[in-house]
Amino acid sequence: MALDVKRIPERVGYYLAGFADGEGSFNVSFRKRKDYAMPWKVSLCFNVSQRDKVILSLFKRHLKCGTLRSREDGVWYYEVNNFVAIEENVIPFFNRFGFMSAKKKRDFSKFKQISKVIKAGNHLSREGIQTILSIRKTMNDGGVGKRKYSDAEILECFN
């Protein structure tokens, strides 16, 4: 069910947006899948990690989606990686409450661009994958050293 962002109290919405501005992350990942028509599943994810579970519980309650779990090191992790929830809850929330930092504004804008590529079904073609990879390269400071698969590995299945 789509989130009605007008029902979120402004002070809570702006607090969560500010918290996500500093601690949140918008990501796109590629996972190898043998059970898909394409060899890759393209996934969007919004996440925040923190030792204080209370703040992350506020995200889950007000965004009305996502999962909350703890890691072995005592850090709590809130994430939304369901595409419908990204489209109907996460994007409308941050469209309304926004960010102050230029970096997070830029990453969120690119996240939305990738969402549009996926929603249009263009992630099922080589050209669409190339578009996503090109956009992703400019997100999160390029994700240097954090990628499981290189762009070349992702694209080689199309040759």
- Give 39-63 pLDDT, tens digit per residue: 788 999 999 999 989 999 999 999 9
Residue 92: give its domain's CATH number. Answer: 3.10.28.10
**102, 63 in Cβ contact below 8 A?**
no
Number of domains into which the chain is organized: 1
Give the number of other Cβ atoms within 10 Å of residue 151's Cβ: 16
Quote the pLDDT of residue 37.
67
> Parallel, antiparallel, or unpaired for β 40-50 and 76-80?
antiparallel
The pair of structure tokens assigned to 128 is 């669409």
Full domain range(s) for residue 112: 5-158
Quote the pLDDT of residue 142.
66
Model pTM score: 0.92
Answer with the residue of higher pLDDT: 155 or 82. Answer: 82
How confident is residue 154, by pLDDT bands cut at 50, 70 and 90?
confident
By three-state DSSP, how is residue 55 classified? Answer: helix
